[in-house]
Every structure is written in C-alpha cells, then in structure tokens.
Amino acid sequence: MRTEKHILTPPERVDVEGEMEGITNTSVWKFESAPEGSRVTLVIEARLPWRLKVMGPLVKRQFQALVRDWMQDLAKYVEAK
C-alpha cells in the first residue's frame, strides 16, 4: 500500500512525502510562469531500504522513465484543457 502526504502552497508549489514497501520518497513540484505558458519542475529524492540499494541504478532508470511519462501525460492533459 502506498501512503502520501501533500503540502500545498498554492499556486506555485506542492511538496509530497510518500512511502511504499519500505521505499520512502519526497518530491517537490514547482509551477512557474513561462513565455510559452507554464513550467513544471519536479525534484524527487528516494531512499531505498538496504536490500534494494544494490539495485539502485536499475530502480533509478525505471523511475526516471515513469516520471517522464507522468510529465508527458500531465502536459497532454493541460494542453487539452
């Protein structure tokens, strides 16, 4: 089960603390005005339990691909509105 705590600082920031199966993470979503519309920046820090640390590079690559997909889906959604 995944749990998350969101701290909203409208309109420019969302802080998220999450935990799932021993993996904890924090993320900061920042929203800024840009000439072409809005810029969304996402910074994620994940802490792996010791048994997964050896797989860290693989987990990182998979997670980066997942985040890239999230950002592309968000952009498509926003552009459709």
CA–CA separation, 74 and 58 (whole Å): 25
* Domain count along the chain: 1
The overall pTM is greater than 0.75: no
Tokens encoding 17: 């603390």
> b/e per residue, 58-72, with b = 16+ CB within 10 A?
eeeeeeeeeeeeeee
Quick one: pLDDT at residue 15? 96
Parent domain of 7: 2-80
Contact 41, 32 (CB under 8 A): yes
E-strand ranges in 1-81 read 2-9, 13-20, 23-34, 37-47
* pLDDT higher than 90, residue 69: yes
Query: Over the stretch 16-58, which tens digit does the pLDDT of each residue have?
Result: 999 988 889 999 999 999 998 889 999 999 888 888 788 888 8
